[in-house]
Amino acid sequence: MAQKSMRDAINDALHLEMARDPRVIVLGEDVSGGAGGTSGEREASGGIFGITKGLLPKFGADRVIDTPISESAIIGAAAGAALAGLRPVAELMFADFVGVSLDQIFNQMAKFRYMFGGKTTCPAVVRLAMGAGMNMGAQHSQTIYPMLASVPGLKVVIPSNAYDAKGLMLTALRDDDPVMFFEHKALYPRKGEVPDGDYTIPFGQAALVREGEHVTVVALARMVAFAEKAVDAVAKDGITCDLIDPRTVSPLDADTILESVENTGRLVVVDESPPRCSIAADIAAIVASRGFRSLRAPIQIVTAPHTPVPFARELERAYVPSPGRIEQAIRQVFKE
């Protein structure tokens, strides 16, 4: 099987689905780039992370639409186009820009189907590049998915690797509900085995990344690889873990987590977001309320602190949960 980066895996999915379904369009800032530039290079960027590269030459400017820097209009146009029968993919260059387009996400696309009595669908995908690790500072580094996971009507997808990213993106593109697709910037170059062809991964189905018997570890996005390191480190001392990657947080595969905790009695949840009202807190609450009798130790959550994402390398490193902190939490919960 071919080794591909997560960047190329998502790009693959977009190419496949645009070729298969003429209703799919892509819009956002610099999704091709170069419009109105002086070099004459019409596809000057293919998205600043290169995710939409090659789409413009293949599918044309009707379907690959460079927009002004107008996030509300980008998301709103995607929502309106979806109501009118297209299947748009809107790009928010940085997930942080949810702030300037939030109304169109949570008051508009999320609510159409319910408000209109089930008579509409809004099959829009919003791609959001997220995450700390590149010293981009407080307004370009957040993992803002907990906010959107709290909104009924939205689906929230958070891939942790290239294979899942392609399969989940193909599912998102064929889904009839609005999907928020969070892509961790630090994972874009990470390679994995990715088939060339078409395959989908269903939403609401967690992946069991490691199997064990002593501790259940749940992690998302970049934290999955960090948790793998921690899990492998404690395995040397005979502590074995289930490592669960939910892959989508709305819907959330709570059953897989609860079943695992039933076996292990111990839970560590790892999340790059700050702790309050986070996915970590949500999963901890679900297990505490529905799986209390399985628990043999207090749940540990490993998250970023309740601060904005800092800039300096040393501070940002301290902000992001590390494999070491995850390892500590596993040992702690195992000891109790």
Partner 1 sequence: MSLSETELLNAYRRMKTIREFEERLHVEIQTGEIPGFTHLYAGQEAVAVGICTDLTDEDYIVSTHRGHGHCIAKGCDVPGMMKEIYGRQDGLCHGKGGSMHIADVERGMLGANAIVGGGPPLAVGAAIACRNRRNGRVSVAFGGDGSCNQGTVFEALNLAVVLKVPAIFVFENNGYSEHTGVDYAVGSHDIAARAAAFGMPAEHCDGSDFFSVHAAMARALAHCRAGGGPYAIEAHTTRFYGHFEGDPQLYRAKDEVRRQRETMDCLKRFRAVAGEHGIALAALDAIDADVLKEIDAAVSAAKAAPPPAESALLTDVYVSY
Q: Is 176 an interacting residue with respect to partner 1 (CB under 8 A)? A: yes
Candidates 109-117, 130-138, 182-190, 299-307: pick the segment binding partner 1 (CB under 8 A). Answer: 109-117
**Encoding tokens for residue 101?**
């387009």
Query: Going by C-beta distance under 8 Å and a sequence separation of 6 or more, which residues neighbour residue 247?
Result: 157, 158, 159, 160, 164, 168, 201, 203, 205, 206, 207, 253
Q: Is 155 an interacting residue with respect to partner 1 (CB under 8 A)? A: yes
Nearer Cβ to partner 1 (175/183) = 175
Nearer Cβ to partner 1 (123/192) = 123
Catalytic residue status for 140: yes
Largest Cα span, the chain: 66
Q: Is 172 an interacting residue with respect to partner 1 (CB under 8 A)? A: no
Q: How far apart are CA 107 and CA 37, in angstroms?
A: 35
At residue 68, the 3 state secondary structure works out as coil
Interstrand relation of 64-66 and 87-92 (parallel, antiparallel or unpaired): unpaired
Q: Which of residues 34-93 bind partner 1 (CB under 8 A)?
A: 62-63, 65, 67-68, 70, 72-86, 88
* CA distance from start to end of the chain: 43
Considering the complex, what minimum distance in angstroms separates the CB of residue 142 from partner 1?
22
Considering the complex, what minimum distance in angstroms separates the CB of residue 335 from partner 1?
39
Among candidate residues 140, 184, 214, 306, the one labeled active-site is 140
Nearest to 47 by CA among 65, 61, 62, 63: 65
Q: Where are the alpha helices (DSSP H) in 67-213?
A: 71-83, 98-102, 112-115, 145-149, 162-174
Q: Is 177 an interacting residue with respect to partner 1 (CB under 8 A)? A: yes
Q: Is 247 an interacting residue with respect to partner 1 (CB under 8 A)? A: no
Q: Is 175 an interacting residue with respect to partner 1 (CB under 8 A)? A: yes
Q: Which residues bind partner 1 (CB under 8 A)?
A: 25, 27, 62-63, 65, 67-68, 70, 72-86, 88, 103-104, 107-108, 112-121, 152-153, 155, 175-177, 204, 251
